[in-house]
Amino acid sequence: MSIIPFDQREGSLWFNGEIVPWKDAKVHVLTHGLHYGSSVFEGERAYKGKIFKSKEHTERFRKSANILDFDLPFTDAEIIAAKDAVVKANGGGDQYVRPVAFRGSEMMAVSAQHNKIHVAIATWDWPSMFDPETKMKGIRLDIADYRRPDPACAPVHAKAAGLYMICTISKHKAEKKGYADAMMLDWQGRVAECTGANIFFTKDGELHTPIADCFLNGITRQTVIEVAKGQGMTVNERRIMPEELASFNECFIVGSAAEVTPVSEVGPYKFTPGNMSRTLMDTYSNYARA
């Protein structure tokens, strides 16, 4: 299947306050965000032309920028309206939504206090990350070598581009071994998350998920916890050691792109996707599309 490069696609996107043709949105190679990772972004989904939890994503977008010591030059209301405009310009329906903000090219050094902050929003068609026909079979996860960093050593609560470097390395290594993704431990060797999604386990009819203190408390994660409690499920947010995985029955990952996706393997540990995974997969899907 031929893949169209993202800089050659048709359509429109929003760039620094206006809708522009997709191919006209360009930046210089000496952009600070490229060299020093001074960039933040969001991953969102629109269902039937409506962006799911757009307000919450926009608030996190601004928080991430502030953590990286820059301010978004547009209000939340302007960003929300811009996202809606791009979804509409690109045909509505089900789309993936990607706002990004980054420092420009005015200064090329570690210090960049006078660099212009650019904001862009793109949307494109993106169905479920995994084939829905085989989703309940569960995906296979490797266990990554790299770990999520100590919060004292990195801005772990920002959705910052630079933090995803070890995620790309880990996912590539997993894919070369035949896995779909990799589960990462935290800096103390406890279960953390996957390279782009949070992780849940089930045991004795209850949910267990790591405390989100050194990685993003994902908006999908928060939503799944909300809908799980609405289904009468007990949710335990706690420290989970990797050797505990042998005692769990089911496992699934959650994220804007992954939605709710069951897992059949994490390294040497096996799981059987069952009723809790299916219930939350279906309930989340219905909730997001309501």
User: What is the pLDDT averaged over residues 134-161?
Assistant: 96
What's residue 11's pLDDT?
Answer: 96
Residues 103 and 139 in one domain: no
pLDDT higher than 80, residue 6: yes
| CATH code, 80 | 3.30.470.10
Residue range of the domain that includes 184: 135-289
Q: Which residues does the annotation mark as catalytic?
A: 159
pLDDT digits (tens, 9 = 90+) for 94-109: 999 999 999 999 999 9
- Give the count of domains, the chain: 2
- Identify whether residues 188 and 75 lie together within a single domain: no
Residue 107's φ and ψ, nearest 5 degrees, are -130, 140
User: Whose structure tokens read 């169209």?
Assistant: 4
- Residue-wise pLDDT for 118-147, tens only, equals 999 999 998 766 666 678 999 999 999 999
Instruction: Check pLDDT > 60 for residue 269.
Output: yes
Among candidate residues 280, 243, 268, 275, the one with its CA nearest the CA of residue 179: 268
Clarify whether residues 282 and 152 are in a common domain: yes
Q: Answer whether residue 158 shows pLDDT above 70.
A: yes
Asked if the structure places residue 3 within a domain, the reply is no
Distances (CA, A) of 64 to 22, 39, 110, 156, 157: 25, 9, 19, 10, 7
Does residue 130 lie within any of the structural domains?
A: no
Q: What pLDDT does residue 3 have? A: 82
Note whether 158 and 273 are same-domain residues.
yes
pLDDT digits (tens, 9 = 90+) for 180-210: 999 999 999 999 999 999 999 999 999 999 9
Residue 129 lies in a domain: no
The reported pLDDT for the residue numbered 126 is 83
Same-domain pairing of 176 and 36: no
